[in-house]
Amino acid sequence: MSRVNRQLKILDIISKHDIDTQEELVAFLKKEGFNVTQATISRDIKDMGILKTLAADGKHYKYAVQSAKENSVTDKYLSMFKNAIVSIKFAGNLLVVKTEEASAGPAAQFIDNLNFEEILGVVAGENTIFVAIDDPSHGERLRERLLNLTDSSGIY
């Protein structure tokens, strides 16, 4: 699987689990079908700007993504989003976003963090995201805004 898919899965894993060692992260990734080494994960962590922060128990540390301010996204996450999206279609008051395998969770989190006013909520599966829209008349405009973020003519 690609580097982008692996990094998206890393974001997904650390958002759901308190991971405090690279070895733990390697184990989670292997369960998800990624054949990786600790050295690869070390490079990914550095490349993605992932930090260790104090866990909720106050005794252990965990990997976490740096918090981004509202409406502010890093180039790295935008790049991962661009590479994950396969298609964006509008249906009623939903956008249906198809992603590369195992990329829907982090891509959905990215969409949710955009804080677009017309988005009521985002739900992700393995490779599909449903974006609930406040009014069907906003659907095509929102689709275009997301497509513009991908900056790709290959997406429909």
Q: Per-domain residue ranges for the chain?
A: 3-64, 83-150
pTM over 0.85: no
Map residue 137 onto helix, strand or coil: helix
CATH topology of domain 83-150: Gyrase A; domain 2 (3.30.1360)
According to DSSP, the β-strands at 85-91 and 94-99 are antiparallel
CATH topology of domain 3-64: Arc Repressor Mutant, subunit A (1.10.10)
Tell me: the pLDDT tens digits for 39-96? 999 998 888 878 888 777 777 888 887 654 433 445 667 888 888 999 999 999 999 9
First-to-last alpha carbon distance for the chain, in angstroms, is 23
pLDDT of residue 137: 94
- Rounded to whole angstroms, the Cα distance separating 131 from 20 reads 32
pLDDT of residue 27: 95
Q: Tokens 């990215």 sit at which residue? A: 110
Backbone angles phi, psi at 102, to 5 degrees: 65, 20
Contacts of 40 (CB under 8 A, 6+ apart): 6
Amino acid (one-letter) located at 147: L
